Amino acid sequence: MARIKTRSVRLLVLVLLLCFVAISAHAQTAQEIARKAFASTVLLVMEDANGQPLSLGSGFFVRDGEIASNLHIVEGAARGYAKLVGTKTKYNIEGITAVDTERDLVVLKISVSGAPLSLGSSDTVQVGESIYAVGNPQGLEGTFSQGIVSSIRQVGSDKLLQITAPISPGSSGGPVLNSKGEVVGVSVATFRGGQNLNFAIPSNYLKAILVKAGPVNPLTIAKPSKTQRSILSDLGGRSTEGVTGGKLTWDSYTQSGDYSFSLHNQLRESVKNVYCLVIFYDTANIPLDFSLVTNSGTIPAGLAKRVKGRVEGSVEQLNSPPLGGFHGKHPSWIPPRAPRSHVEFRILDFQIVD
């Protein structure tokens, strides 16, 4: 009888040990997940036809030479490149192999191989489950954050994962992983009612378009019209919406290129580290030059901040040529003075102040 009890105890211990090993084989440490995710995550920089940046974002390898990201990052871009985390080499985006306009997903073809991440099932995700988000906020490559699934939102016939892991605009398109290191969502920074809410597109939608992926198509996706709706339409703006630039003035008497403009924070939260690209055009609406302005200070909710910049004096002269015979004397040339030609503002990135 004693031998039987001893064998039973040994068998029970063996079963428990095997269960522990099985669980350990599936669950991974945060360090292991981060290491695997960094090997797959890329920084995306999208540009217009003149090579000037339109947006920053993130993406990750889902197959050899193919990366997944958010559609809104590439909308309106003429070209772009991807850069692996921790490297300096830039790889041109060759085109698009799959797209889902309703769920803000796109699969891009690039000229480099990567380490694809495994796609898990988003149907098994539960509220309270631990998740990890990886991306490139403010262009800071390889940012890893931890959180939980705080809710699973029903939007029409679709679902969204609401998560607590912070997602800055530059992290849009990055992977959201579970404790097994599997992708269960694609990050997307959204705002609803001015609040900073973090969402992820469920991975099952990404799986569906990968099955239908076809040949490489040109990178020519126009911005959607106001009548076109996506899964995010009812959640408010996306990416860098909520902060705008405007009211530029030339501020010198000698047309030396000194200027200032206002950054307007339209959100209910304070923001900081605003990256704004200012593009100057001549009277024929041809680009002259651009200037990247960074405001690291805090802009409170609903308020604006004047920031300064400078370009070559010739840019000011071509953008706002003097009125004949009145240069330096006419009231319209007493600073601050408004530009006479077009000036464009592109908010590339910013950070919500917690």
User: What positions carry a catalytic annotation?
Assistant: 72, 104, 172
Q: List C-alpha distances in Å: 167 to 82, 186, 304, 350.
A: 19, 11, 23, 11
Distance CA 26, CA 292 (A): 45
Q: Write the CB contacts of 113 (distance below 8 Å, at least 6 apart in sequence).
A: 64, 65
Q: List C-alpha distances in Å: 148 to 151, 165, 177, 200, 224.
A: 9, 7, 11, 12, 32
Number of Cβ within a 10 Å radius of residue 249: 15
Q: If 0-12 CB within 10 Å is exposed, 13-18 middle and 19+ buried, where does residue 10 land?
A: exposed
Question: Could you write out the DSSP letters of every residue in 113-164?
Answer: ---PPPB--GGG--TT-EEEEEE-GGG-SSEEEEEEEEEEEEETTEEEEEE-
Residue 37: which of 29, 46, 47 has the closest Cα? 29
